[in-house]
Amino acid sequence: MADADRQVPPSWNVVGRHGVFPEARHDDVARFNFLTNLNIHLASQVLPGVRKAYDYRVERGATPTNRREVGELLKREPMYQFWSSMRRNTMEMRQQNSRAMVFRQLPELVEKARQLNQDSETLQLDSAVEIPRYISAVDIHCMPGGYHTEYCEDDIAAGANYDSGIFVTTAGMLGRYSDGGGQALAKWLRDEAESGFRPRRILDIGCTVGHNIVPLAQAFPDTEILAIDVAPPVLRYANARAKSLGVDNITFRQENAESINAEDGSFDLIITCMFLHETSSRALPRILAETHRLLADGGKVVHIEQPQFSPDMPLYEQFMRDWDTRNNNEPFWGTLHDLDLFEAMEQAGFEREKITTQGLFAVVDETLFPSAAKAATDNEDYGRKPAWHAYIASK
């Protein structure tokens, strides 16, 4: 974050509200704003000091040959210890602030969602779907109970917690509705449509609260969309959220991505957005195989992820990008990014010459955060920058 303008994030008060968004009190907002600015300070003012400490050790003769050895150097550095512990704590504090706000009004939020979801054919839950072990065994992103735990009948707490807190972690750079990734996908699809690719049916795998798929539904209202997840609390919230935003062409269904109830060739476009790194090494090949089975001839699969670790990526950058594996309850992050995704997709059935990758930058709301629009040309922030790699396979 070299650009000083970017160090002034918007207040959490400008976050986009909808029919099931939690109401915040003064102290909730104050805590969110403190954490947002602390995240910016850590990235822009403290993180450069970590790099200087690393460079100093290398200049003094240290010669790490892999990212584990980079970690051995840095874990003895006070600057790294401070930055890392603070980064972990800001995530935990974000989760606790969101949870306190959501649980204070949970009965009212559940009732709002219940009314929006009542008799809705676009919400399809299936109690026979088991939560995979790689989801239930860890509180991903330090969110207590993860995305699947239900605290009451018709619970939506996990969805409300995630939706209200992500604005803090991204410092508002994903827009009012934290949908900059989905807006980027919609822009990509508009460009593809001009070339003749107009999907009739879209599948979104691992949709959580639907913030990435709603922009596509809004951009292509005549397109039929199925969005799946294994967690009922986020699906209830996602359906109510979409309804309250006037979107009615998405069906939110409880499904395990390893075995999806749909006929071969059902979809013209299949997307995942920062989902593959949440799955286990055993599940990933099954999920990729499902995308190949479900994709129609002439269709496309798009996976949005952070860049893979490669010999061309400096060891320091590899270690810093791998921070989430060790400290943010992301046990499969490093494993996924060590993987050759091209090879994995080829093993799933896609032809190697029909797989490509391209950069994808979040569409920033410049009225909300003008300087964040410069992120595409700014320095890297090791996973927090709203920029990703899109892995695209055609069939």
User: Is residue 250 within 8 Å of 240, Cβ to Cβ?
Assistant: no
Per-residue pLDDT, 18: 97
For the chain, which residues make up each domain, given as ranges?
1-394
pLDDT value at 145 more than 90? yes
In the prediction, which pLDDT does 98 show? 97
Kindly report, residue by residue over 178-234, the tens digit of the pLDDT: 998 899 899 999 999 999 999 999 999 999 999 999 999 999 999 999 999 999 999
What are 335-343's contacts with CB under 8 Å, separation 24+?
335/281, 336/276, 336/277, 336/279, 336/284, 336/305, 337/277, 337/305, 337/306, 337/307, 337/308, 337/309, 338/308, 338/309, 339/284, 339/308, 340/308, 341/276, 341/303, 341/305, 341/308, 341/391, 342/391
Residue 366's pLDDT band (boundaries 50, 70, 90)?
Answer: confident
* 17-27 per-position pLDDT tens digit: 999 999 999 99
pLDDT of residue 5 exceeding 70, the answer is: no
13-61: pLDDT as tens digits: 999 999 999 999 999 999 999 999 998 889 889 999 999 999 999 999 9
CB 90 within 8 Å of CB 35:
yes
Asked which of 117-121, 198-202, 383-387 is least confident by mean pLDDT, the reply is 383-387
Q: Write down the pLDDT at residue 381.
A: 60
CATH superfamily of 1-394: Vaccinia Virus protein VP39 (3.40.50.150)
Q: What is the 3-state secondary structure (H, E, C) of the chain?
A: CCCHHHHCCCCHHHCCCCCCCCCCCHHHHHHHHHHHHHHHHHHHHHHHHHHHHHHHHHHCCCCCCCHHHHHHHHCCCHHHHHHHHHHHHHHHHHHHHHHHHHHHCHHHHHHHHHHHHCCCCCEECCCCCCCCHHHHCCCHHHCCCCCCCCCCCCCCHHHHHHHHHHHHHCCCCCCCCCCHHHHHHHHHHHHHHHCCCCCCEEEEECCCCCCCCHHHHHHCCCCEEEEEECCHHHHHHHHHHHHHCCCCCEEEEECCCCCCCCCCCCEEEEEEECCHHHCCCCHHHHHHHHHHHHEEEEEEEEEEECCCCCCCCCHHHHHHHCHHHHHCCCCCHHHHHHCCHHHHHHHCCCCHHHEEEEEEECCCCCCCCHHHHHHHHCCCCCCCCCEEEEEEEEC
- Predicted confidence band of residue 370 (pLDDT cuts 50, 70, 90): low
The gap from C-alpha 2 to its chain's centroid, in whole angstroms, comes to 24
Instruction: Give the C-alpha separation, 97 to 90, whole Å.
Output: 10
The better pLDDT of the pair 169, 154 is held by 154
Which pLDDT value is given to residue 307? 86
For residue 4, name the pLDDT band (cuts at 50, 70, 90): very low
Res. 254: pLDDT tops 70? yes
User: Burial letters for 20-44: b for 16+ Cβ neighbours within 10 Å, e otherwise?
Assistant: bbbebeeebbebbbebbbbbbebbb
How far is residue 279 CA from its own chain's centroid? 13
pLDDT of 242 > 50? The answer is yes
**182-208: burial string, b at 16+ Cβ within 10 Å, e else:** bbbbbebbeebeeeeeebebbbbbbbb
